[in-house]
Structure 1
Amino acid sequence: MENAYKTINHILVNLINEIWELEEKAIITEEFKDLTNNDMHVIEAVGLGEGNNMSAIARKLGITVGSLTTAMNSLVNKKYVERRRSEEDRRVVYVKLTNKGVGAYRHHEDYHRQMTQAILDKLGEDEIPVLVKTLDALDEFFCGYSQRRDSQAEGREG
């Protein structure tokens, strides 16, 4: 059991680091050299379609609206997103991808598709549910860990 623990821990730590580094190399191409990995994730959170409001995007990313505003200012200047105020409530700001932003979104989406397909190609039909269960447990851990940290931080502030 100890050996399995060490092996799994080693794989997870390396995998997380590799994904972050490789994703940056894969998605920040000549065409998108003015973007950072964080920019790409903001673009992904904005999504396709008619756009979303800043609060919803910040919630999706787990950051404050203030932090998102800084990232959005940069993406607006680089012409990946455009902002508009709500006609009903001028305090609400909607963000939508430009054509250039949609191109970056599709590029990032394609990287994720290739990564996922590479895994699926290595698995048999009977192995996929085991992988899904494993990744779900990992996702549950990360979400729970994040919530526990947020709760602890709030306890220290109050």
Structure 2
Amino acid sequence: MDYQRINEYLTSIFNNVLVIEEVSLRGSRFKDISIKEMHTIDVIGKVPDVTPSQVSKELMVTLGTVTTSLNNLERKGYIERIRSEHDRRVVHLHLTKKGRLVHRLHKRFHKAMVEKSSMV
């Protein structure tokens, strides 16, 4: 298989997953968050006591981009920022009850998508 064909397949799969995720979010009770915000929630849900810098590295975006997303997610009630007791300059991110719920549903969505694709 040549490079061009593999690249086309990967690009197509990636774009299709994003569209499916977007449609799924828009049809749910969590239509107030974007795909980028959902991916931010996903990182926060996977990594205990994650910091904004770690989220930035994981998502491969700037700290400014993450900060904007975190501000929106905090305002919407999905995350909370908690200052470290050991070093007050450090902020740890945690999901709220609402954030944990959407994180679990998103994981379930991905699991179902993988299971369906393995049937093809």
TM interval, shorter chain, is 0.7 to 0.9
1:69-109 residue CA offsets vs partner (Å, 9 max, x unmatched): 11100000000001111111111001100000011101111
Task: Tell me the matched-pair count.
Answer: 120
Counterpart of 2:32 in 1: which secondary structure?
A: coil
- Segments of 5+ residues of structure 2 without an aligned counterpart are none
Aligned 1:4-19 pairs, distance under 5 A? 8-19=6-17
TM-score (norm 1): 0.67
**2: distance between equivalents of 1:87 and 1:47?**
21
Q: Which has the larger radius of gyration?
A: 1
- Cα distance change, pair 53–119 in 1 and its aligned pair in 2 (3 A): same
Q: Gapped runs of 5+ residues in structure 1? A: 123-158
Aligned-pair Cα RMSD in Å = 2.1
State the partner residue of 1:39: 37
**Cα distance, 1:8 vs. partner?**
4.2
**Alignment-derived partner of residue 114 in structure 1:** 112
Identity %: 36
Could you tell me how far 1:21 is from its partner in structure 2? 0.8
Alpha-carbon distance between aligned partners in 1 of 2:66 and 2:112, rounded to the nearest angstrom: 28
Matched residue type, 2:45: G
After superposition, what is the alpha-carbon deviation per residue over 1:112-136, rounded to whole angstroms, capped at 9, x for unaligned?
Answer: 10111112334xxxxxxxxxxxxxx
